[in-house]
Structure 1
Amino acid sequence: MLRKQLKKWAVLATLLTASSAYAERITITDVLDREVTFEAPAQRVIVGFYPEDYMAIGTEAAYDKVVGMSKYIWQARSANWEMYLEHRPSLDDIPGIGRVDTKTFSVEKVISMNPDLLMLADWQYKGLGSDIERLENAGVKIAVVDFNAQTVERHVKSTQIIGAITGQQERANTIANEYAQNVKLITDRLAEANLPQPKIYTEYGAADIDEIGYTFGKNMWGAIATTAGGDNISAPFIEWWGKLNPEQILASNPDVIVITGYETGTTDSSMVMGQGVKESLAKTRLEGFKERTGWSSLSAVQNNRMYAAYHGACRTILDGAMIQFYAKAMYPELFADLNPEEAYKDFYQKYLPVMPEGTFVTEL
C-alpha cells in the first residue's frame, strides 16, 4: 500500500516540478483538495504556520519574500527563535498577523500586506470560518498545508506545496522522499518482525508534575506512536488532543511513557527539552514524573521505560527523527541501529542554516 502511495507522490512531485520550474502562473491542489492558482515562485508570502518548515523546504532565501507571519509558534520555542535571530536578525522585522486560536488574527492586516499567497495550516483555515470568505473576496490566495495530521501523505503533499510556492520543487521532492522512505523503513521492519505492540502513553509535560498534561489521539505524537508500532492508550478516549483521567492512565498501564517539553516550562518540575537544555536537567525533570500519585505501579515506571522528546520536533517535516525515536523506545532491539538524535541534527545540517545544540531526545 505504501509503495503505491510513494509512486503516486512521485508523480505529483514530477508534475509540480514540470509546471513551475520558472516564474509562471500555476495551479496546485492543497491538502483540502482546493485548487489554488498563483504566480510561482510567489513574491509576497504570508506564513501562517510551520515557519521552520518553510525555510527548510524553501531555503533561507524564501524568507526574502515573506511579508508577514504568525510568529507566536516560533517564538514559543524561545531558544530556537533566538538561534535563528542571531543568524538572521531580519526575521524580527517581519510583521506579525496575530493568532487564529486566540482570535487575534487580523484579516485587515493580511489584506493590507497585498500578499501573492497566504499559507495556512489546516486547523487555521477551518478556525477562521467566515473570515476566509472575507480574505478571498479581497483577492487573497490561500494555500492550506498540514503537518499536524502526522500522515505520510499530508507531510509529503505539504512539502510539495511549499516547494511549489518557493520555486524549490527539486529540493521539496528530495525532502519528501526522504521522509516517506524513513517511514517505510520503520513500517516494513515492523511488519516483518510482527512483534506484540507495546502500550504507550505520551504527555506534553508543560505543567507541574502533579497536573496531568495534554495527550494525543490520532494526530501529532499520537500518530507518531501508532506509526512507530505502538498501541496508543490515549486513542480510544482522545480524538485529537486533551487530558486523560489519571485513573485511566493507571488502568491502561502503559509499557512505555514519553513526556515532551519545550525549552521552558511553567514550573520548576515541568519537562524541559530542546535548544540549550542540558541532558542532566532533562533527565532530572523526567525522573520527577515517576513520583506522581499511583505511577509507581505502572509497568513503564517499574521497568524504567520512560523517555522524553522535544515538543517542537513534532508536526513538522523534521519529525522523521521522532518516529525513529518512538520506534527505538518501543522496540530497542529491532531498531538498535537507529540514532534519532543524530538524524534530527542531520536534517539541520542538510537543510537549515543553523545547528541546534541541546537535548532533543533522552531516556532514563
Structure 2
Amino acid sequence: MPALLACLLAALLALAGCAPGDSVAEARGGLTLTDMRGRTVELAGPVQTIAIDDSRYLVALALIDPKPVSRLAAWAHDSNRLGREGHRAFLASEPALDGLPRIASSAENFDVESVIAARPDVAVLSVESGVTDSQIARVEAAGIPVVVLDFFADPMDNLEPSLLALGELIGREEAARRFVEYRRQRMDAIAARLADLPESRRTLVFLEAHAGSSPDCCNSPGRGNASDYLEFVGGHNIGADAIRQASGKLNLEYVIARDPQVYIATGGPHLEARGGFVVGAAFDRAEAARSLEQVAARRGIAHLRAVRDGRVHGFSHQLLNSPLDIVAMEVFARWLHPEIFADLAPERTLEELNDRFLAVRYDGTYWVSLEN
C-alpha cells in the first residue's frame, strides 16, 4: 500500500508539473533568487533578456551562455572595462552589440528612465552602482525585476553566488555550476599548498593600478578585491594598510618607506596614449615588457627593493577585474611564491577557460615579467 500511494502521489505531482521537494514557486514554474543585497526576487521563471550596468558582465555571460550578447536588451556601453580588443571580440560575435540601448554604467548616477525604456525582462545591477531602494522600487513598479550581483567589489565571497544566480536567471544553472566547481578546485589547490605558510613568509606587495597613467604616485587597491587575491596567495598589499575603501592613492614616500618585495603594475590599452603600462591582446610580449620597464624606471619606483631584486611584473587590469579571476590568482601565486608554485601554469588555465567555457575567447598577452 505505501508503494501504491507513493506512485499515485508521484503521478499527481507530475500532472501538476513538479516533483517531490519542489517549492510552491518552482511548482508553478517560478523562480526565487536572493541577490547580493540580500533581497528576495521572485520571477515567473528564467528570462530571455537582461540589462547590465557593467560590460564585464558580458564575460560572466560568456562563461555560461554560447550567445552572451543575445541576452542583452541594454548595456552600459562602457567598453573601456572590457578593453579595446575585448570589446572588438564581443562585437565580432554579435555586430548588433553597439546598437543596443544604453543604460547608465555602475560608475555613473543610476538612470531609472533608461532602464524602463529598454524593457528588459530583468535589470542586473552591480552592488557598487549606488542604486537606491527607491530607484529599484520605481523600476520594479514598471514591471521589471531588479537583481543586484557582484563580480568585482568582493569577488572572493560574491563571485560564486553571483554567477550561480545569473545562471538560474537565464536558465543556465548547470553551466554556471560547472564553472564554479572548476574555479573552486583550482582555488583549493592553491590554498592547500599555503596551508602551513607562516605570517612571516607573506610577501609584501605594491600593486600599482593603472600604472603610469599620471605623473603623481600612486593608484592602488585598498581593502577587498585585489588585496584579497594577494592575501589568498600568500601576500600582503601595502595599499590595504593605508586605504580604507576599495581603491585610492598612496604617496611615493609611503611606498618607499614600505619597500615592498614585489611590484605589480596593472594596465591595458587604455593607458597607451598616456604613456602608462600597456598589455593585452593588442600588444605582444616585447611591447608589454618595454612598457613595464619604463613604468618601473620612474623616480622612486626604480629604487624599490622589488625592482632591485628583479621582482617586477605587469598584469592586465581588465583581466584582474574579471570573472576570470582564477587566472590572476594563479599568476600572483607564482610571482609571490615561485618556490611553492614553480609548476603552476596559468597559461594553460586561460587556455582551458577558452576551450571549455568561454563563448568569446581571451587570446593574447595579459601578463609579463621583467627578466632578472
The TM-score bracket by the shorter chain reads 0.7 to 0.9
Q: What does the per-residue CA deviation read over 1:190-225, in whole Å, with 9 as the maximum and x for residues that have no partner?
A: 113447011001112354463324211222222211
Q: Tell me what 1:322 maps to.
A: 328
Distance in 1 separating the partners of 2:25 and 2:186: 27
Query: Structure 1 residues 147 and 75, CA, compared in 2 at 3 Å: closer, same or farther?
Result: closer
Distance in 2 separating the partners of 1:161 and 1:208: 36
Find the residue that maps to 1:359 and give its secondary structure. coil
Q: Tell me what 1:77 maps to.
A: 83
Q: Tell me what 2:192 maps to.
A: 188
Is residue 20–residue 40 contact of structure 1 (8 Å, CA) maintained in 2? Answer: no
Q: What does the per-residue CA deviation read over 1:65-99, in whole Å, with 9 as the maximum and x for residues that have no partner?
A: 32111120456511111122123212222211122
Equivalent of residue 167 in structure 1, options 158, 171, 174 = 171
Q: Tell me what 1:156 maps to.
A: 160
Query: Structure 1 residues 115 and 86, CA, compared in 2 at 3 Å: closer, same or farther?
Result: closer
Query: Structure 1 residues 290 and 315, CA, compared in 2 at 3 Å: closer, same or farther?
Result: closer
Shift of 1:335: 0.4
- Give 1:203's aligned amino acid: E
- Give 2:88's aligned amino acid: E
Query: Structure 1 residues 114 and 348, CA, compared in 2 at 3 Å: closer, same or farther?
Result: same
Query: Structure 1 residues 109 and 295, CA, compared in 2 at 3 Å: closer, same or farther?
Result: closer
- Give 2:171's aligned amino acid: G
Identity %: 26
- Pick which of 266-275 and 322-331 moved more: 266-275
Distance in 2 separating the partners of 1:289 and 1:23: 59
Shift of 1:317: 2.1
Aligned residues: 346
- Give 2:267's aligned amino acid: G
Is residue 209–residue 220 contact of structure 2 (8 Å, CA) maintained in 1? Answer: yes
Query: Structure 1 residues 152 and 21, CA, compared in 2 at 3 Å: closer, same or farther?
Result: farther
Q: What does the per-residue CA deviation read over 1:279-314, in whole Å, with 9 as the maximum and x for residues that have no partner?
A: 111111111123222233311011010100011112
Q: Tell me what 1:299 maps to.
A: 305
Equivalent of residue 39 in structure 2, options 34, 50, 61 = 34
- Give 1:163's aligned amino acid: G
Distance in 2 separating the partners of 1:121 and 1:311: 19
Distance in 1 separating the partners of 2:107 and 2:46: 29
Query: Structure 1 residues 282 and 20, CA, compared in 2 at 3 Å: closer, same or farther?
Result: farther
Verify: 1:202 aligned to 2:207, yes or no: yes
Query: Structure 1 residues 167 and 21, CA, compared in 2 at 3 Å: closer, same or farther?
Result: farther
Verify: 1:289 aligned to 2:295, yes or no: yes
Distance in 2 separating the partners of 1:43 and 1:23: 18
Larger Rg: 2
- Give 2:157's aligned amino acid: E
- Pick which of 41-50 and 73-82 moved more: 73-82
Find the residue that maps to 1:326 and give its secondary structure. helix
TM-score by length of 1: 0.87
Find the residue that maps to 1:71 and give its secondary structure. coil
Distance in 1 separating the partners of 2:37 and 2:366: 32
Distance in 1 separating the partners of 2:28 and 2:169: 10
Find the residue that maps to 1:332 and give its secondary structure. coil
- After superposition, the CA RMSD in angstroms is 2.4
Distance in 1 separating the partners of 2:28 and 2:324: 28
Distance in 1 separating the partners of 2:242 and 2:204: 14
Find the residue that maps to 1:358 and give its secondary structure. coil
Equivalent of residue 351 in structure 1, options 351, 354, 357 = 357
Structure 2 portions without partners, runs of 5+: 1-21
Distance in 1 separating the partners of 2:274 and 2:69: 36
Distance in 2 separating the partners of 1:258 and 1:296: 13
Q: Tell me what 2:220 maps to.
A: 215
Equivalent of residue 47 in structure 1, options 31, 52, 67 = 52
Shift of 1:236: 1.2
- Give 1:60's aligned amino acid: P
Distance in 2 separating the partners of 1:235 and 1:119: 29
Shift of 1:257: 0.8
Find the residue that maps to 1:188 and give its secondary structure. helix
Distance in 2 separating the partners of 1:88 and 1:218: 37
Q: What does the per-residue CA deviation read over 1:313-354, in whole Å, with 9 as the maximum and x for residues that have no partner?
A: 123221101001111100012001111233123212222233
Structure 1 portions without partners, runs of 5+: 1-16
Distance in 2 separating the partners of 1:323 and 1:203: 16
Is residue 148–residue 316 contact of structure 1 (8 Å, CA) maintained in 2? Answer: yes
Q: What does the per-residue CA deviation read over 1:45-75, in whole Å, with 9 as the maximum and x for residues that have no partner?
A: 1122233333224313343232111120456
Q: What does the per-residue CA deviation read over 1:144-193, in whole Å, with 9 as the maximum and x for residues that have no partner?
A: 11111344331110110111011111111111111122221111211134
Is residue 348–residue 355 contact of structure 1 (8 Å, CA) maintained in 2? Answer: yes
Query: Structure 1 residues 98 and 243, CA, compared in 2 at 3 Å: closer, same or farther?
Result: same
Equivalent of residue 341 in structure 1, options 328, 338, 347 = 347
Verify: 1:24 aligned to 2:25, yes or no: no
Find the residue that maps to 1:191 and give its secondary structure. coil
